[in-house]
Amino acid sequence: MDKYKLLKQYFGYDSFREGQEFLIDNILEGRDVLGIMPTGAGKSICYQIPALMMKGITLVISPLISLMKDQVEGLNQAGIHAAYFNSSLTPGQYRKALCYAREGRYPIIYVAPERLLTEEFLAFALESNIVMVAVDEAHCVSQWGQDFRPSYLKIVEFIDKLPIRPVIAAFTATATKEVKEDIIDLLLLRTPALITTGFDRKNLYFGVMAPKDRYGAVKNYLECHPGDSGIIYCLTRKVVEEVCEKLLKEGFAATRYHAGLTDEERKKNQEDFIYDRSPVMVATNAFGMGIDKSNVRFVFHYGMPKNLESYYQEAGRGGRDGQPAECILLYNGQDVITNQFFIENNQDNKELDPLTRETVMERDRERLRIMTFYCSTNECLRDYILRYFGEYGENYCGNCSNCLSQFETVDVTKMAKALIGCVKECCQRYGMNVIIETVHGADTAKIRGYRMNQNSFYGSLKEVPVYKLRQIMNALLMKSYLALTKDEYAVLKLTEKSEAVLSGEIEITMKMAKEQEHPAKVKTGRKGRKEKMPSGMDFSKKEKSLFERLRTLRMEIARKEKVPPYLVFSDKTLTHMCILKPGTKEEMLRVPGVGEYKFEKYGKQFLEMMRSKGEGR
């Protein structure tokens, strides 16, 4: 069977997305590949289709149990036999799965990197025909990646032990230039076919807010979006517990996830979220990289993550079905201090030598600064993210909080001179807070103790709000008019450009919101959110009603079969049913996401329901 028939039969699509066919063709020709594709772009199909066409076993190396479970369930639902090997299996289950694997029942096997060199698994691999090794979340191999896993360095050692070298296919959604080079070098890819389809997720709305009451902002949003599924990321376990407890008391169907819970509770809570029993998940970053839930409509960050890679990957859990989703970051200056503490006390890289560990820590501090700038920039948020990954746009996307706010260009030269002058006069000894408090005229024990109340710039900008001074300071840092040291206690330093500002050679302007004193509320009910189909067509009342009936039927089937609802059909597939209104098998098979296997299993029930309501054509 050719690739197009497999795509239609098992996955229900008539054509490949950007980059998929290129990677599939190169794999089938026996060439290593590296695919850098955004979350939701269909990376898994790039190795699943070749795996069904090649005579042998494809091993998919994946870092998270949740990812493997979701992928294997999805394949089995599509009629493809697959299995996974990780620590969630009992010894009996593990041996039974290995026995089936030896019999050739599984063309696709998912495995945790820690399992590769275990005696049992290696014995199986050495006697099997491994034709491809697909490395998912390949950025984990790089110490410059945000999720570096030392166990990923064992992949090459495992491949070297195989009697015949298989094709190696590596995939990731987030990779800077350094990480991309590391993936190629550390996995020893041989002249790989490389494709980057872009990092942009146009269906995602990005917003940054600095509310005084973070919980109030979240509560307001949930009240305006009843029934929507989403994730609320928190920086610490304590905050997860607090937020989840408040939501439950308020009557929201929420659950929680962090490393302090037992394995059993984490598994139960994750399943409650995936099966839509508890559509709101409150979690630390321990949750998420492998979550394949397609109908996540919002992702809140209840605090700033430590780097832009982590933020974009976590935000990318939203809108995997291609429909609109909102990614909103609630920022507070304390988040910087919390993340600095995490960086200085990182226990993940104990295996690294002291020099390399310090280098990684320095890189983490730099990435934290870039993340902090994201929270304070008035430029297009999407463009800021894309520039970080090496893509350049027009600095206007029309779908982020900055692009949807009114800005004016303001001359801030006078304020910039005061800030830089204050740094110079105190001999570059203090950090941002001390300098801002000094020019604002703060009368605190710290300022008096440092004798900054005797600085000639003391109180020179007392009429300027502190939040605006912080914005200007961040702009000076972004444009290298000032610099911060890279040690634990970051100190402001002058740069080559500082003197040009003080001497009046340079005027500094920046975009500032016209109504900064009244931050915009979380946008709710935005067009394109729930009122529009993926195609851009507006929902009519009749189509909304049909969509809800289809969702109800999907939930009934999912509960009966004990599978996540989105594995029956995604929201995107249901909305296309509303558009196409199929009345026959042939028409139903034209709906994206409906293949032969799923039609036989589920499609007839949806057809019957539409016919009974007079919806099918």
Domain ranges within the chain, ordered by starting residue: 3-196, 204-388, 407-513, 541-612
Q: Is the pLDDT of residue 535 over 50?
A: no
Cβ(37)–Cβ(180) under 8 Å? no
Please, which pLDDT band fits residue 518 given cuts at 50, 70 and 90?
Answer: very low
Domain 204-388 listed as CATH 3.40.50.12780: no
Q: Which contiguous run of DSSP H or E holds residue 254?
A: strand 254-257
Query: Quick one: what percent of the chain has pLDDT higher than 90?
Result: 50
Residue-level pLDDT at 199: 83
Phi, psi of 242 (to 5 degrees): -65, -50
Please, which pLDDT band fits residue 528 given cuts at 50, 70 and 90?
Answer: very low
Burial class, 617, CB count within 10 angstroms (exposed 0-12 / middle 13-18 / buried 19+): exposed
Who has greater pLDDT, 520 or 105? 105
* Amino acid sitting at position 452: M
Residue-level pLDDT at 532: 43
Burial class, 129, CB count within 10 angstroms (exposed 0-12 / middle 13-18 / buried 19+): middle
| Number of other CB atoms surrounding residue 96 within 10 Å | 13
- CA–CA dist 231, 133 (Å, integer): 32
Residue-level pLDDT at 435: 96
Query: Quick one: what percent of the chain has pLDDT higher than 70?
Result: 91
User: What 3-state DSSP class applies to 206?
Assistant: strand
Please identify, in words, the CATH class of the domain defined by 3-196: alpha beta
Mean pLDDT of the region 70-97: 88
The pLDDT tens digits for 541-564 are 677 788 888 988 998 998 888 888
Tokens read off for 608: 């019957």
Cβ(199)–Cβ(391) under 8 Å? yes
Phi, psi of 283 (to 5 degrees): -155, 160
Tokens read off for 72: 């294997």
Who has greater pLDDT, 616 or 467? 467
- CA–CA dist 162, 456 (Å, integer): 71
Write out the DSSP string of 538-593: BPPHHHHHHHHHHHHHHHHHHHHHTS-HHHH--HHHHHHHHHH---SHHHHTTSTT
Tokens read off for 119: 């005696």
Residue-level pLDDT at 80: 92
Structure letter (DSSP) for residue 601: I
Mean pLDDT of the region 120-147: 89
pTM above 0.75, yes or no: no
Q: Is the pLDDT of residue 14 over 50?
A: yes
Sign of the dihedral defined by the CA atoms of residues 531, 533, 538, 542, in that order: negative
| Among the listed residues 425, 314, 39, 53, the one whose alpha carbon sits nearest the alpha carbon of residue 201 | 39
Bridge partners, residue 204, by sequence: 325
* Amino acid sitting at position 84: Y
User: What 3-state DSSP class applies to 516?
Assistant: coil
What is the topology classification, in CATH, of domain 407-513?
Arc Repressor Mutant, subunit A (1.10.10)
Residue-level pLDDT at 527: 38
Residue-level pLDDT at 350: 63
Tokens read off for 355: 């020099």
Q: Which CATH superfamily is domain 541-612 in?
A: HRDC domain (1.10.150.80)
Phi, psi of 130 (to 5 degrees): -85, 110
Please, which pLDDT band fits residue 281 given cuts at 50, 70 and 90?
Answer: very high
Residue-level pLDDT at 407: 74
Q: Is the pLDDT of residue 212 over 70?
A: yes
Mean pLDDT of the region 90-99: 90
Q: Is the pLDDT of residue 540 over 80?
A: no
Across 182-186, 259-263, 498-502, least confident range: 259-263
Mean pLDDT of the region 120-124: 93
CA 84 vs CA 1, 33, 473: distances in Å? 25, 23, 50
Please, which pLDDT band fits residue 410 given cuts at 50, 70 and 90?
Answer: confident
Ramachandran sector of residue 59 (left: φ over 0; alpha: ψ -120 to 50; beta: rest): beta
Nearest-Å Rg of the Cα atoms of the chain is 26
Please, which pLDDT band fits residue 352 given cuts at 50, 70 and 90?
Answer: low
- CA–CA dist 67, 81 (Å, integer): 17
CA dihedral 431, 435, 440, 443 (to 10 degrees): 80
The mean pLDDT value of the chain amounts to: 87
Residue-level pLDDT at 286: 79
Cβ(158)–Cβ(179) under 8 Å? no
The pLDDT tens digits for 283-314 are 998 786 556 788 899 999 999 999 998 899 89
Cβ(134)–Cβ(169) under 8 Å? yes
Please, which pLDDT band fits residue 521 given cuts at 50, 70 and 90?
Answer: very low
The pLDDT tens digits for 41-65 are 789 999 999 999 999 999 999 887 7
Tokens read off for 131: 């034709």
In terms of average pLDDT, the best of 234-248, 333-347, 563-577 is 234-248
Q: Do domains 3-196 and 407-513 have the same CATH topology?
A: no
Residue-level pLDDT at 526: 43
Write down how long the chain is. 617
Residue-level pLDDT at 38: 81
CA 332 vs CA 80, 204, 238, 307, 336: distances in Å? 47, 23, 17, 15, 8
Mean pLDDT of the region 210-225: 93
| Among the listed residues 461, 471, 500, 466, the one whose alpha carbon sits nearest the alpha carbon of residue 410 | 471
Across 81-85, 181-185, 286-290, 391-395, least confident range: 286-290
- Cβ neighbours of residue 302 closer than 8 Å, sequence gap 6 or more: 214, 218, 232, 233, 234, 235, 239, 243, 330
Residue-level pLDDT at 24: 97
Please, which pLDDT band fits residue 524 given cuts at 50, 70 and 90?
Answer: very low
What is the side-by-side strand order in the sheet with 82-85?
82-85, 108-111, 57-61, 130-135, 167-172, 33-36, 193-196
- CA–CA dist 284, 306 (Å, integer): 12
Mean pLDDT of the region 489-503: 91
The pLDDT tens digits for 428-443 are 999 989 999 999 999 9
* Amino acid sitting at position 257: Y
The residue assigned the tokens 């066919």 is 21
Mean pLDDT of the region 121-134: 95
The pLDDT tens digits for 353-389 are 787 777 778 888 888 889 999 998 888 999 999 988 8
The helices-and-strands tally (H runs, E runs) of the chain is 26, 17
